Amino acid sequence: MNRTVDKSLQMRERAARVIPGVAQTLAKGPSQFAQGVAPVFLQSGKGCRDTDVDGNQVFFKSAGYPVAKAGVVHLSKYCAAYWGHDSVRVNVLCPGGVFDDQEPGFAKRYARRTPMGRMAEPTDYNGACVFLMSDASAYMTGSAVSVDGGWTSW
């Protein structure tokens, strides 16, 4: 067997082992969250979820990670469609990496990959959260809002 075919087979075998477990683990929490907050969302007519970076962005982690994050985005779209007739808005905030005293090399490498040249501060998400939870987004549901310093714009 040549090296390319062998590597491809190894990747498929690894993906077959890893993706189901990772995706199930990462999808179970958001699904349980949706079930748990349904009464609050239905009463208030507002809902907001988060997933780091963007469910459409594939980057340097195991295959299960972006698969699960895309699942969070699309589960939220499903919830938006399902609860929309009850005037519930469900949108997703997709934040970029937040600086939290990571190792300096990591923060520097991350900053080089981001058009804004830095990691986020926790307060960088305040405006988007206020917008998504306020009446300013009254006709917005089923959307994924990336606040990532341009990470997904590449």
How wide is the angle at C-alpha 29 spanned by C-alphas 76 and 63, nearest 5°?
80
- Structure tokens of 32? 């349980």
- Cα gap 51→12, rounded to integer Å: 26
- 139 has catalytic annotation: no
Concatenating the DSSP letter of every residue in 70-120 gives HHHHHHHHHHHHHHGGGT-EEEEEEE-PBPSS--HHHHHHHHHTSTTSSPB
What distance in Å separates the CA atoms of residue 137 and residue 120, rounded to the nearest whole number? 23
Dist CA 115 CA 102 (whole Å): 19
CB environment 110-136: b (16+ within 10 A), e (fewer): beeebeeeebbeeebbeebeebbeeee
- Catalytic residue annotation: 65
